[in-house]
Chains A and B, each alone.
Chain A
Amino acid sequence: GAGVSQSPSNKVTEKGKDVELRCDPISGHTALYWYRQSLGQGLEFLIYFQGNSAPDKSGLPSDRFSAERTGGSVSTLTIQRTQQEDSAVYLCASSLVGAALHFGNGTRLTVT
């Protein structure tokens, strides 16, 4: 497709389970970002990938959060041992270097 694609669009999980969120960036975009949007809050930066460089993980809130980007394209954000405070919309964005970010529609995660 032409835009950033995220799956699933909604995910409900039980506290303590692991979840994986997927992002397909726009073809040719070398930069990929994950942000988290909690209810009524702005966007919280989580992690950034650029080409083959080491990712900027400075926004990950705990060691339960990790992300990888395989082959410079698809990215997976993994949350282990989910907690209720992890409930949020997880947004992925991609861009060309130095250009504006293009966002996907997000994955709404609910931890019960």
Chain B
Amino acid sequence: GEDVEQSLFLSVREGDSSVINCTYTDSSSTYLYWYKQEPGAGLQLLTYIFSNMDMKQDQRLTVLLNKKDKHLSLRIADTQTGDSAIYFCAESETGRRALTFGSGTRLQVQP
């Protein structure tokens, strides 16, 4: 079946760049998503990338997709303490109705 994996924890200093990585197994993935979850809240969509793209930039966020290696990354430039949260990678496939989520990466930003 489909599988999405992420490292559990990342710690960076304020102002540095953060890179959160994700690997997936489903070669039929159509869209890949990054969601952010702050304490006590639901998941907030940050950005997404279509599988025929290899890069997408949105302000401080850069998504890189290596479809050959089934590797997705989220880079956050100039990381702020407000970026501290859990980041989930998710993938979807045309014809499959539910997203498959990774277990989330907890990002800790130290002042």
What is the interface of chain A, defined by CB distance below 8 A to chain B?
Answer: 4, 6, 31, 33, 35, 40-43, 45, 48, 50, 56, 59, 91, 93, 100-106
Contact = CB atoms under 8 A, between A and B. Distances in A.
A67 B100 CA distance: 20
Contact of A101 (B41, B99, B102): B99
Given A42-B102, A100-B33, A101-B45, 5 more contacts: A6-B42, A33-B99, A48-B97, A104-B42, A106-B41
B88 interface: yes
B44 A103 contact: yes
9 contacts: A42-B104, A43-B43, A50-B97, A56-B97, A56-B98, A91-B43, A101-B45, A103-B42, A106-B42
A110 to B, nearest CB: 14
B98 A59 contact: yes
Interface in B1-57: 4, 33, 35, 40-45, 48
A100 B45 contact: yes
Nearest to B103: A42
Interface of A is mostly: strand
Interface of B: 4, 33, 35, 40-45, 48, 88, 90, 97-104
Given A56-B97, A59-B98, A101-B99, A43 B42 contact: no
A100 B48 contact: yes
Contacts of B33: 100
B42 A91 contact: yes
A40 B9 CA distance: 11
B76 to A, nearest CB: 19
Q: Which 5 A-B pairs have the closest CB atoms?
A: A103-B42, A42-B103, A43-B101, A103-B43, A45-B98
A42 B42 contact: no
A56 to B, nearest CB: 6
A4 B98 contact: no
A33 B98 contact: yes
A77 to B, nearest CB: 15
